[in-house]
Amino acid sequence: MLHNKGPLLTINLSERTTAESEIKEINQRYVGGRGVGTRLAHKRIPFDADPLGAENRLVFTTGPMQASTMSFTGRMNVTGVSPLTDGLISSNAGGFMSRNFADTGYGAVEITGKSDDLVAVHVRDDGVEFEAVPNLESATVSETVEYLEEDRSVTPDQTAVIGPAGENQVRFASIMTSEERAFGRGGLGAVLGAKNVKALTVGGDSVAEIEIPSTQMEIHREAATDDHIMKRQGTVAVMDLANEVEGLPSYYFSEQQFDGVEGINGAAVEEKKYKKGTCSQCAFACKLPTKDEEAGVETEGPEFEVAMAFGSNSGVNDIVEVMKSNTLCDQFGLDAISAGNTVAAYLAANDEFGNVDRIHDLIEKIAYREGDGDLLAEGIDRIHNELGVENWSVKGMDFAAHEGRVLNGQGLSYAVANRGADHMYATFYSVEYPLVDEEDAVDPLGTLGKADELVHRENLMALNDAGVVCKFSRDYMTPKRYESLFGADFEELLAVGDRIVTLERHFNNQRGFDRADDDALPYDLPNFQQALDEYYDERGWEDGVVPDNALPGDCQSVSA
């Protein structure tokens, strides 16, 4: 089976030491990316670790497909315990860092401990340097990247940095790479901030040799020549469809359609797009460099989730104002989905929907934990009672845009996903709108009989994240192509995904997660309890808990 290569580099910030460990068997069994990150985290992070404590670890990983020249491979992964959900979480970002990371020759880089001073950690194939950077305290992402480029000759594509939000341990702080790409959901930027790391930089000339089958070129050619709407409008292309089926969260989830949709939809974004944008090696080019000269704003995006959170969910019908919100989140290092939803909760509590000046002010206050921003920095799950609004989150993570009250299988996915109400965990919405061929579509109504497809999609998405292959490759990655690229039977590959999901769930079980955490949707779904039972039966779990005999063989010695 195709898999990543290279040892684990452990960086201990408390002791300012580094160590290398051989992880060949883990690479072989878990492929790379999220798979290797999850296995290492499960093995090396204490089950009771404080997400913001020195014992938590961040594991940066890339995958074997970063040795290819194929489209959809410009991403990488980071894994750790989330300060937002309190569970194990993996986040991945696009851009151009992944291949620079691979140049170090390491299969994984793990950060543990805590530095006494604010530092930048420079990882090269010939060593690691700890640089004190007191000058970067409270610096924005662009200020940090500019310093690294001018003083260290490090390009933005070699960096993973945090903004003020990470330093101030905002629970949904992101780690930013290539300046505008985010390891977003789950708040791992706060973990880096708690460790007093302002930046991680990577580089070298020691990339592992991994032979990729020629199937990569077929996929690359199709991605380059296909006339796909996402090349023009990105993910926001789906907004009109979502609104049409009454599936666009609006006014802090109180409504499901938005009268001002024309001001923030795909056409509105396309009008502001001024050039192509892409990730490393990708000819699909679905990114959205946008600008408005009159307003003096230039950003990348917004994508659909952000246009929902800072648009319809906040009562804003002007794409330029959403672009401003997107830019502020990137600069301060905030997950724009959680930031937008949390701001929307504040607007609902104070009857201020559509107040863009307040929105932009709150984004900055959240990043610096000033005034009302200090409360909002804790996230919806922790503050909804104080605000007097409904808790629109699952396992601490607020909802993405794809509406489970309309797409019932997606609603079930939100409920059971190990990282909470995140749309990318199974991308079940894609088969319910549908965004796939008719023969692969699923009736959006009802939850029963969907467990097998949900498990299949969770496993497949986990495999993609181990690969690492972008999930927007769905129109190009067939089972035969997976088999060709990875050199294994498709069912064997899905078993890798199953191991990843199982280990995430087991880790979270040790932290107290069980059926009650899955049974926490803020709305009713038909036959939901039976659907949960079907899902657990399909997984071989007992009321949301992984029994010892269901653990992967290499983890059987782990006690519950």
460-480 pLDDT, tens per residue?
A: 999 999 999 999 999 999 999
Q: What confidence tens digit (pLDDT) does each residue in 517-550 have?
A: 999 999 999 999 999 999 999 999 999 999 999 9
pLDDT at 483 over 70: yes
Angle between helices 451-467 and 408-416 (to 10 degrees): 60
Reported as half-sphere exposure (CB side, CA atoms, 13 A), residue 419 has a value of 27
What's the pLDDT at 559?
45
Residue 414 corresponds to which tokens in the numbers above? 């939100």
């039966």: which residue's tokens?
537
Contact in structure between 118 and 131 (CB atoms under 8 Å): no
Contact 485, 1 (CB under 8 A): no
Tell me how far apart the alpha carbons of residues 61 and 108 are, in angstroms, rounded to a whole number: 5
Average pLDDT over residues 489-503: 98
Do residues 80 and 57 lie in contact, with contact meaning Cβ atoms separated by under 8 Å?
Answer: yes
Whether 147 shows a pLDDT value over 90: the answer reads: yes
Query: Rounded to an integer, what distance in angstroms lies between the CA atom of residue 410 and that of residue 423?
Result: 8
Strands 197-203 and 289-292, bridge-based pairing: unpaired
What CA–CA distance (Å, rounded) separates 327 from 333?
10
What pLDDT is attached to residue 557?
Answer: 63
Mean pLDDT value across residues 10-31: 97
Mean pLDDT for the chain overall? 97
Does residue 434 have a cis peptide bond before it, meaning omega lies within 30 degrees of 0? yes
* Averaged pLDDT for residues 391-413: 98
What is the average per-residue pLDDT within 477-498?
Answer: 98
Closest CA relative to residue 21, chosen from 49, 43, 54, 51: 43
What is the distance between the alpha carbons of residues 421 and 416, in angstroms, rounded to a whole number? 9
Distance of alpha carbon 537 from alpha carbon 450, whole angstroms: 12
Please state, in angstroms and rounded to a whole number, the distance separating the CA atoms of residues 347 and 354: 8
- Give all domains of the chain, ordered by start, each with its CATH number: 8-203 (3.60.9.10), 226-398 (1.10.569.10), 408-555 (1.10.599.10)
Q: How far is CA 230 from the centre of its chain?
A: 19
Residue tagged 């995140």 (tokens): 422
Report the pLDDT value the prediction gives residue 558, as an integer from 0 to 100.
52
- pTM for the model: 0.97
Where do the H-state alpha helices sit in 45-152?
A: 97-102, 141-152
Inter-axis angle of helices 356-368 and 336-350, to 10 degrees?
A: 120
pLDDT of 553 reads 85
Taking the CB of residue 538, how many other CB atoms lie within 10 A of it? 15
Residue 373 has pLDDT above 90, yes or no: yes
The fraction of the chain above a pLDDT of 90, given in percent, is: 98
Longest dimension (CA), the chain: 62
| 560: pLDDT strictly greater than 60 | no
Checking DSSP bridges between strand 175-177 and strand 159-161, what pairing results, if any?
antiparallel
Q: How far are the Cα atoms of 22, 28, 466, 483, 501 from residue 39, in angstroms, in the given order?
A: 14, 12, 11, 23, 10
